[in-house]
Structure 1
Amino acid sequence: MSKAVPITLYSGLEPLFSIGAIIVRFHWLLLTILSTLLFALPAQAGRLLFWRYENNQNRLIFTTDSRVQPRAQLIPNPTRIVLDLPGITLNRSTVDQTIGGNIRSVRVGQFNSQTTRLVIELAPGYTVDPAQVKVRGLSPTQWTVELPDPQPIRNSPPTRPTPPPNRPTPAPQLPLNTSPSSFQDENNFQVTRNGLFIRLDKQGQNRDIRVEDRQEEEAKTIQFTLPGTSFPKALIDRTLAVNKYGVSDIKFEQPQPSQGILTLRVAKDSPGWQAYYSRLGGLVLLPQGGIPKVENLTPPEPSPEVTVSPAKNENPTISAIELTSNNQLLIRADGPIRGQGTIYRRTGIFEIRIPNAQLAEPVQGPQLGSDSPIYQLKVRQENTDTVVIQVRPSLGVRLGGLRQPNDQTLSLEVISLRATTPPPRNPRDPRNPTPITVPPPSNNPSPTPSLPPGSQTPRGRVLVVIDPGHGGKDPGAVGLGGLREVDVILPISLEVSQLLKQQGVEVMMTRNADYFISLQGRTAMANRARANIFVSIHANAVGGGRSNVSGMETFYAGNRQLADAIHRSILRNVTVARDRGVKRARFYVLRTSRMPSALVEVGFVTGSVDNARLRDPAYRSQMARAIALGILDYIRQKRL
């Protein structure tokens, strides 16, 4: 998160220039003006940067980029330890990670616009003593939540098994009869805003579709052979006019009961077209490159056997979606509609499918404020006559059943679990939530990562790229106790970035969360940005069960000055298991970066000494501070 630049710049405790300085660079004056404007803006929320649950230690670890004082409570039935982080945002969708054993899952989501919520849910039939749950702030931005061993609940009632992840549980289907049992012939084929749609009686597999282009003198034909597909009888042996997207007509053939053939007659310069089956029993035809590639093409002369043009969509139009004061989500149309709801347990999304309907342009939707019971609402036209609405509730909100107040309206019940005026509670009742004490964070290490006096602020624009290795599908090395390289180096890299920014250095990170980026993408990012420095941060590993191998080492490919500066700083500021030296290596990120670069191996996740240290957030902070100081030393040496 960008921060305002103070009017007086400091290098540690001493001002970088005195008040009486005669020469002030223009860009410092510009930064001063910008600082004044930025200080007048409202404060931005902090972000949750990193979290991990360590199952073997019953411990949750999380890091934010600004100070936070969590609130914690234990909620029964099922047992959950709930932590709210005021002033912290997640900046992504809800995450639900299955753990296993006595811990069912860990969920992280946006409770409201200014609060992130972390939930540790125990397996059914288990609980913990809330007095033994220890929430500790190693610093105001680094926190741990340590759980005692879960214990079985005595005389607990049997619980319903939890459905496996990703398997949708259908909500009760509406007993509606407002839609005819069969569609009129003209609705079997339609031209849509994205391409063409054909209704099917039977569909095959996408992998079996065959496409053949044939060039004619004045036009081109594209033929789709569709094994396993049956067209509606009203379409067989028909050629329908299209006259749009460079397509003059479309021909339907059914040479066998389970094989259909479609032929498009398109403009001579038309791109190819592709076909895929819809989940709703239809075929979608799309131009390669999208509609912009074909919307201005002139269709060729139609085939002589063209019989009819496609009909206009006469389906009911959904014009408004409202959230009422009594927490009902209403979907209104100008004609009879029906719908089916599905709850996706893993994501919490309630999906409503409305066949034989279309969306108005635009659709009137509700205003979702910070206290709205609905966190996200997505509406889309999936094909010519199917509307899909996805509702994601806010944390603390449950969605009820789908109802039909009248034939032109659907309603979804929205149930808030956060009562505004809660009834009197018996503090001894085990069914009530129990607060968990959260003491203020420790000031050792320092509340905000900082650098000592003497760490010079750079003179001009300096761009440093920090590259946390691996990520996403590539966890890197996995060491003793399942410690993963990615879980060590991301917190270190984030803190290095924060420390450098405090000193006026511009920082770009190749990734700031746990996702994959290729080696080529990492150095390409730095090269495009014309960075001054590139530092890749990793953790080491060795096979053969050699847990006695530990230590830190630094690599370079060309000039070793940057690697030397970082390495010396680590040895000065961190007690390492062993100094393994500065070495030359032709790692991809070193030899393809066009600026001074270094790769730091902060320790061995497979080494017994390093493994214990790298698990410790305080040790990782020391390592981050040392790397940042080494980078600043290099900047000062080079007078950047």
Structure 2
Amino acid sequence: MLPAERCIWDGKAVRTSWLLPLALFGLTWAESASAGQLTYWKFNVNQSRIDLVTNSAIQPRAKVVTNPTRLVIDLPNTTFRKLKSRRKVSKYVREVRVAQHSRSTTRVVIELNSKYTLSPRRVLVRGISPNQWYVQLPKFFPVDDAEETDRESIAIRVPPPKIPKPSVSSPDPVVFDPVKTGARVVVIDPGHGGADPGAVGIGGLQEKRIVIDVATQVMQLLRQQQINAVLTRTSDVEIDLPPRVAKAEGLKADVFVSIHSNAISLSRPDINGLETYYYVTGYRLARTVHNSILQGVSVSDRGIRQARFYVLRKTSMPAILVELGYVTGSTDAARLGTATHRQRLAKAISQGIIRYLQGR
């Protein structure tokens, strides 16, 4: 098998700037006898960030190669099941390629369009955990504006981030009979989970950790009011969108509330705020829950919006998707990382749902 970059590098004089030939964050792990696997990767166009998840601890290496500009990320002692994965991306990023570079190394290549480049010293590589990493690309700029020193720069070592680990009580799934009990059924959908961390923000703040905490508390508060509240996931597992919808449909739920947190580029910490989405039948639910959050929690209002999200389009009951705030926002991230703020969010969401069910 040809290395992922062989056909591009041959015959060209290239210059490289290694970013991570060091033991990042002071962590070192013994290389196991058998290679692990790259189990999940996702390039977020809006955030210019790639997330990488493996099933074992790794220490990535990364370098910038010029002509054209490419960010090359090597995952040592890691295999990739597919022969090659190649995706076209955007105006600035020509494509992202993932392939087996050598017997024990998976290579990820982010190639920019030939007219653009970036500063190697501004590329951020962060380990959320030994097997979960993300790479944040800096702002792109025209090749004509590039300076030689920028392309030759080496990344600065960054200390390990403090990852909030909220204490979440995840009760076993409960099967309700809404016809027999006559109670209202509310399905709470904490987004992402498992290998999919969702949005990753300032200090490595993970969406999946925030939303499972808030969703679990919403469920508990609703159950205290004799409302049959059910979670689409009760632990850190990855669930596709169709099963989430199927659970709500199977329970003949009266309400479906999907809980998420938002993100944009880490270069925009000024963007913060609450957003609530609905599709067709969920406007009154969206308005009631959105206003309840604004009344009970300190958060900027970014409005109620209509959107064609899968879980909103495919559910037959009133459904909304609540974006609690921006994990990339300086204000929101600081708040979302605290248990007190998450408790207030859960209380406000549950109060909004109850008001909706009461017809207020």
Normalised to the residue count of structure 2, the TM-score between the two structures is 0.51
Determine the structure 2 residue equivalent to 1:271: none
Once the 2 structures are TM-superposed, how far is the Cα of residue 507 of structure 1 from its aligned partner?
Answer: 1.2
Does residue 547 (structure 1) correspond to residue 269 (structure 2)? The answer is yes
- Cα deviation 1:267-295 (Å, max 9, x = unaligned): xxxxxxxxxxxxxxxxxxxxxxxxxxxxx
Q: How does 1:172-571 map to 2 (within 5 A)?
A: 460-543=182-265, 545-559=267-281, 560-571=283-294
Other structure's SS at 1:539 match: strand
Structure 1 unmatched ranges of 5 or more = 1-54, 67-458
Structure 2 unmatched ranges of 5 or more = 1-159, 172-180
Q: How does 1:35-46 map to 2 (within 5 A)?
A: none
The answer (yes or no) to whether the contact 2:266–2:328 under 8 Å persists in 1 is: no
> Aligned equivalents of 1:546 and 1:56: distance in 2?
19
Moved over 6 A (4+): none
Range 525-534 or range 596-605, more displaced = 525-534
- Cα deviation 1:305-350 (Å, max 9, x = unaligned): xxxxxxxxxxxxxxxxxxxxxxxxxxxxxxxxxxxxxxxxxxxxxx
> Aligned equivalents of 1:469 and 1:591: distance in 2?
16
Q: Structure 2 vs 1, CA of residues 540 and 622 (structure 1 numbering), >3 Å: closer, same or farther?
A: same
Determine the structure 2 residue equivalent to 1:635: 357
Once the 2 structures are TM-superposed, how far is the Cα of residue 460 of structure 1 from its aligned partner?
Answer: 4.1
The answer (yes or no) to whether the contact 2:164–2:205 under 8 Å persists in 1 is: no
> Aligned equivalents of 2:186 and 2:200: distance in 1?
28
In the alignment, which of 49, 52, 63 is matched to residue 168 of structure 2? Answer: 63
- Cα deviation 1:4-43 (Å, max 9, x = unaligned): xxxxxxxxxxxxxxxxxxxxxxxxxxxxxxxxxxxxxxxx
In the alignment, which of 322, 330, 341 is matched to residue 619 of structure 1? Answer: 341
Once the 2 structures are TM-superposed, how far is the Cα of residue 56 of structure 1 from its aligned partner?
Answer: 3.0
Other structure's SS at 1:583 match: strand
> Aligned equivalents of 1:522 and 1:476: distance in 2?
16
Determine the structure 1 residue equivalent to 2:323: 601
> Aligned equivalents of 1:521 and 1:499: distance in 2?
24
In the alignment, which of 272, 291, 296 is matched to residue 573 of structure 1? Answer: 296
Q: Structure 2 vs 1, CA of residues 461 and 615 (structure 1 numbering), >3 Å: closer, same or farther?
A: same
Once the 2 structures are TM-superposed, how far is the Cα of residue 573 of structure 1 from its aligned partner?
Answer: 0.5
Other structure's SS at 1:64 match: coil
**What is the number of equivalent residue pairs in this alignment?**
192
Give the strand-richer structure, 1 or 2. Answer: 1
> Aligned equivalents of 1:520 and 1:531: distance in 2?
15
Once the 2 structures are TM-superposed, how far is the Cα of residue 62 of structure 1 from its aligned partner?
Answer: 2.3
Identity %: 45
> Aligned equivalents of 1:58 and 1:568: distance in 2?
30
> Aligned equivalents of 2:211 and 2:258: distance in 1?
10
Other structure's SS at 1:524 match: helix
The AA in structure 2 aligned to 1:481 is G
Give the helix-richer structure, 1 or 2. Answer: 2
Q: Structure 2 vs 1, CA of residues 468 and 57 (structure 1 numbering), >3 Å: closer, same or farther?
A: same
Q: Structure 2 vs 1, CA of residues 572 and 460 (structure 1 numbering), >3 Å: closer, same or farther?
A: farther
Q: How does 1:30-109 map to 2 (within 5 A)?
A: 56-57=161-162, 61-64=166-169
Other structure's SS at 2:167 match: strand
Determine the structure 1 residue equivalent to 2:14: none
> Aligned equivalents of 1:528 and 1:478: distance in 2?
32
Once the 2 structures are TM-superposed, how far is the Cα of residue 485 of structure 1 from its aligned partner?
Answer: 0.5
The AA in structure 1 aligned to 2:202 is L
Once the 2 structures are TM-superposed, how far is the Cα of residue 528 of structure 1 from its aligned partner?
Answer: 1.5
Q: Structure 2 vs 1, CA of residues 538 and 544 (structure 1 numbering), >3 Å: closer, same or farther?
A: same
The AA in structure 2 aligned to 1:527 is E
Determine the structure 1 residue equivalent to 2:157: none
Once the 2 structures are TM-superposed, how far is the Cα of residue 64 of structure 1 from its aligned partner?
Answer: 3.5
- Cα deviation 1:205-253 (Å, max 9, x = unaligned): xxxxxxxxxxxxxxxxxxxxxxxxxxxxxxxxxxxxxxxxxxxxxxxxx
The AA in structure 2 aligned to 1:493 is A
Once the 2 structures are TM-superposed, how far is the Cα of residue 61 of structure 1 from its aligned partner?
Answer: 4.3
> Aligned equivalents of 1:64 and 1:601: distance in 2?
22
> Could you say what the CA RMSD is over the residues aligned between the two structures, in angstroms?
2.0
> Aligned equivalents of 1:623 and 1:531: distance in 2?
22
The answer (yes or no) to whether the contact 2:191–2:258 under 8 Å persists in 1 is: yes
Structure number with larger C-alpha Rg: 1
Q: How does 1:102-117 map to 2 (within 5 A)?
A: none
The AA in structure 2 aligned to 1:597 is A
> Aligned equivalents of 2:164 and 2:256: distance in 1?
34
